[in-house]
Every structure is written in C-alpha cells, then in structure tokens.
Chain A
C-alpha cells in the first residue's frame, strides 16, 4: 500500500513546488507526509560543547517555526503530516532516519530550484550518493516553466 511520502529539505531551504506536489500526492493516495529538515554540521572539532548546544537549540527553534506553516497547510487540506529535524552528515542522517521507520513509498527532494548535476565521488550531491540505499523512487520537484508541455 502507498502509505507514506517523505519530503527532504536541506539547510532551511523549502521549495513550494515540492510542498504542492506532496500535498496533491497525499490527497490522491490517501497517504501521510513527513517533512524532514537535514542540517549539515560537523561534531568532531573541539568547539566548546556549550556553544554546540546553544546553536542546536536555536536551530531547532528556527526550523520548527519554518516548518510550522507548511505543516499547518497540509493539515488544513486534510493530510496527516509530521516534521523532523536531523543535524549531522545529511546522507548518514537520512539513511538512519529511514532505517528507524516503516518504509516510505517515495522520497521527494524539497530544496533547491535546480535539478543537481550528476557527479562522481564526492563531487556529486550528497543525496545522489545516498540514493542506492533508498528503497523507493527519489524525485526532484521544481517549477514547470510557463507553456512547458513536457519535462525535459
């Protein structure tokens, strides 16, 4: 059964097209939506732990406020929705997030107006590197240009 869709965002950037698509998909498939914000942050350096704690707490507050509006819109439209924040290496955090939950049927990339270029090794997008670990399609959602009949 198609039960869950995951919209993944990076570094506090949210694409309205990804949200529109997620809402419509959830409505026609009667499925739930999870919004996942991934923030890249290294933990290995010797910065004072207190400053990390403070940065994390501020980030949680900011991301919470940022996701509150789309969450509310989804729920107003009758879509069951939730949100989560993960901080660290984005690829690892995404895989860990997925491993802890029942399977999603689609992952939608919800940040960035342009489709990232394919690359090799570390030069590709981190999500491209995480892709082989996913069990479902990974889609990019962007704005369709005026008069555009087909996706390229």
Chain B
C-alpha cells in the first residue's frame, strides 16, 4: 500500500492538552496542522483559507458546538471532510454527526493509531471527491466582494464609495445598521481594501459573552491569573495586532469593559489578565451596532469618550427595504449559489415571485432574503420559481409599516387632559383636591374626566 499523501488539517478543541496531542500525532505523519481552542476563530480562519479536513470537538461550551461548526465550514468549503471528536461518546450523537455528513466520529481519549487511520481515510475520500469536481466549483463563498455589498442602488453605491475612500486610511470606523444588513462584511471589505489586508481580521461579538468572558477573550490571561487559567492565553487584541479588530454589537459591551477598551485605544497597549508587562498593539478597530449609540452615550448607557474614539467615521448601512431595486439581483445571486450547492434545478425567478419578494418588508434584511432563497432552492419544483415555491406568508399576508403619528401639535383639549392627569397624580387621585387646584367644582371635574376618558 502506498504512503498516504499529507493534508492540510484544522483541529478545534477547547481542551488545550488534547489539542496539542493531536497536533503532535498529525504533524509526525507529515500533515500541515492549524489548531484552535475557539471554534469562532477557527471559522474565521476557514473563511480565509481552505483546508482538507476539519477535526472538531463535539462539545465546546460556551461556543458553537462541533455540528454547527461543521455546517458553517461546509457553507464555505462544501468538500471539506469532517471528523468529530467527543468526550461524551454516545451512540445518538455519533449517529447524528454521521447523518449530518461527518466522515466519522472519534471518542476521547483519542488513540493515535485510530486517529491516523481515520485521517488518512478522510483525506483519501476528499481527494476522490475533488477529482470529480469541476475547477472553480470548490469555493462557494463569494470572495472579497461580498453579496451583502452587491447592489446597484444609489444607497449601496454610496456605501461602496465610502468603503473605498476610508479603507486605506487607518481611522476607526463605526458601522451602523440593522441586523442582517451586512455590518461584518463591510468591516471585512474595509480590511481587504486597506494596507492591513495581509494582517489578521479578527471578529468578536460583544453581545454574546459575559463580562468575564469578554475580558478573557479580548485581553487573554497569564498562567494562573485565576482558577482554571492553566496556561498563558493570547487575547483577540493581540491576535488582531497588525490587522483589523471588528467589534460587533459594541453597544452591548458592559461599562467596565468600555473603560478598558478606551484605555487600549488611547495607549495602544494592553495588559493580559493577571499580567504586569504592557504589550504594544497596532490595530484598527471597526465597531458595529444596531442600536442608537449616540442616544445611549447621551443617556449615560455608553461612554461618550469611547463613542467619540470609535466614531471617527460613521458608515450607515441601509435596510434592504430601503434599496428594493437590489432585491432581484441579490435573490438571483443567492438562488444560483444555493442551487449549485444543493444540486437543484431552479434557474431563475418568475415575475410574480420576484414581485412578491420586492413587495416584502424584510425585517431580517439581506440575511432573511438569503435564508428565503436557500429554502426556496431546496423546495422548488421547477426551473422557474413561482409564488408557490416561496414561504406561504409572502403570498398570504400583506405587510405594511405601521403608520407613524403625524407631527403632534397638542390641542387645548390635549393640554387640559394632561394637566388634569398631572394634578390627579399629584393629589394621589383625590378629585376634591384636584378640583380645588383647578378652581372648578367637583361636578365639572367629573364631566371633564368623563369626556377625556379618565374616569
């Protein structure tokens, strides 16, 4: 039997010891190995680089689990082979993993011989599959030009222009936009078009973690900094040095962490948790939020000094409903991508289906359109998408923005009602006292209250 060819392998396990052991075994066999304790970071790596095989722990609390990591990795590299590992070996999860497309399943403690054998088999299968694929079919993600930034509408052209204008400068950027408008992809585009493009792009969601976890993730820690902190750990700030750090949902960052982040931005250096040696940093920060950060800063819920430090340039992303002219283009893009990935028949959108999509409100923005087209590609019966292929609410439910109140100039009656209400509250609901303060008798007050619906 010939010696199996080495492969490029990414290993993800939240237990550092297990990770090191697997790395040693695989490198001895000649494989090129990257290791990660954080699956989110592994995923970021996978979005930038292709691997032959993903070896992932099934349980990695509080992060995404191995099955979700497999699904997300396959969205970028459909032909990647996956072997899942777990300390909680059980038949149901093993069956589920294989059912969802994992090559195989390994129980901890991993035996070196078994690991080598399964890895060789998975790499062999990967090579056979690759040989069957046409060139260019491998990568389904759209590369540097993201579909979220695709658009011919004036609003999106303006966004593209601003990105091109500010990317080469090194200023911090605040990206505003509702969920699903593509804030992270704009941050990636800023990174890709900047001089930092060869450095790392590190994304972190400030809303997904507790204060302690944020500190641990951003700043890392020294060995023994707290109970359970076995070895030294580099934080994301260090990891992003030389590149771009994207802080999503910045408005959710606890105030105590905001102080620390402000210090980092001012001093351009940081201390690991439990550390005493400052570490110099060279990074650009792109922050994003769906909240009104200016109002939060004015109300004291977000530090004003940090707000001004982050908000050197603001880039506001339009809602999909504000750029309806892009819906057709985006829908066709997502449909083509999904049918290619799922090997389905649908080729295009019929006029009625397109009209329903153009008419829809899309509170979930581009991400919602992407999800709709993915489902449609999977369920469509013919080559042309009809309204029956779309989710039922699109054809059965009429949506409209709730009417906004026109400018409210209070009438005399409004003011009279408000004043009576104010006095009633002040007197604890006493009609006698309220009437006296108003200079009218109780019966008149009673009539007014009845008229204003206050009784």
A positions within 8 Å CB-CB of B: 1-3, 5, 17, 20-21, 24-25, 28-29, 42, 44-46, 103, 105-106, 109, 115-122, 124-125, 127-129, 131-132, 135-145, 148-152
Contact = CB atoms under 8 A, between A and B. Distances in A.
A1 B177 CA distance: 11
B368 A28 contact: yes
13 contacts: A2-B364, A20-B396, A21-B393, A44-B454, A45-B455, A103-B291, A115-B400, A120-B405, A120-B407, A121-B409, A143-B396, A144-B398, A151-B400
Nearest to A27: B391
Interface string B390-434: 011101111111111111111100100100000011000101000
B402 A109 contact: yes
B429 A44 contact: yes
A2 B181 CA distance: 11
Nearest to B411: A121
B323 interface: no
Contact of A105 (B363, B392, B411, B424): B363
Contact of B393 (A2, A24, A105, A129): A24
Given A2-B180, A106-B363, A139-B363, A127 B402 contact: yes
A86 B102 CA distance: 48
Interface in B357-414: 359, 361, 363-364, 367-368, 371-372, 375, 391-393, 395-411, 414
B290 interface: yes
B292 interface: yes
Contact of B391 (A24, A105, A118): A24
Contacts of B425: 44
Given A131-B402, A135-B292, A138-B402, A143 B409 contact: no
Contact of B405 (A20, A25, A124): A124
A29 B364 contact: yes
B355 interface: yes
The interface centre, meaning the residue of A46, A109, A127, A141 with most chain B CB atoms within 10 A of its CB, is: A141
B406 A118 contact: yes
A27 B39 CA distance: 25
A148 B442 CA distance: 56
A28 B405 contact: no
Contacts of B453: 42
B352 interface: yes
B179 interface: yes
Contact of A125 (B403, B414, B424): B403
Contacts of A119: 405-406
B178 interface: yes
A105 B361 CA distance: 13
A46 B321 CA distance: 49
B372 A28 contact: yes
A126 to B, nearest CB: 9
A148 B356 CA distance: 10
Nearest to A115: B400
A144 B392 CA distance: 11
Contacts of B367: 2, 29
A34 B409 CA distance: 34
A132 to B, nearest CB: 8
List the 5 closest A-B pairs by CB distance, nearest first: A106-B363, A118-B403, A128-B405, A24-B393, A124-B405
Interface in B427-455: 429, 431, 453-455
Contacts of B417: 122
Nearest to B251: A103
Contacts of A139: 361, 363, 399-402
Contacts of B364: 2, 25, 28-29, 105-106
The interface centre, meaning the residue of A106, A122, A136 with most chain B CB atoms within 10 A of its CB, is: A122
Given A105-B179, A136-B363, A143-B398, A117 B403 contact: yes
Contacts of B291: 103, 135
Given A2-B179, A103-B290, A137-B361, A24 B403 contact: no
The interface centre, meaning the residue of A25, A127, A143, A152 with most chain B CB atoms within 10 A of its CB, is: A25
The interface centre, meaning the residue of A44, A106, A118, A136 with most chain B CB atoms within 10 A of its CB, is: A44
Contacts of A46: 429, 431
Nearest to B292: A135
A140 B400 contact: yes
A109 B397 CA distance: 13
A45 B414 CA distance: 20
The interface centre, meaning the residue of A20, A119, A120, A148 with most chain B CB atoms within 10 A of its CB, is: A120
Contacts of A115: 400, 402-403
Nearest to A150: B359
Interface string B145-189: 000000000000000000000000000000000111000000000
Contact of A138 (B401, B407, B409): B401
A1 B207 CA distance: 10
Given A24-B391, A28-B391, A144-B396, 9 more contacts: A1-B207, A28-B364, A44-B425, A103-B290, A119-B405, A121-B405, A131-B404, A141-B398, A143-B397
Interface in B286-301: 290-292
B363 A25 contact: yes
Contacts of B414: 121-122
A41 to B, nearest CB: 12
Nearest to B362: A137
B397 A120 contact: no
B11 to A, nearest CB: 27
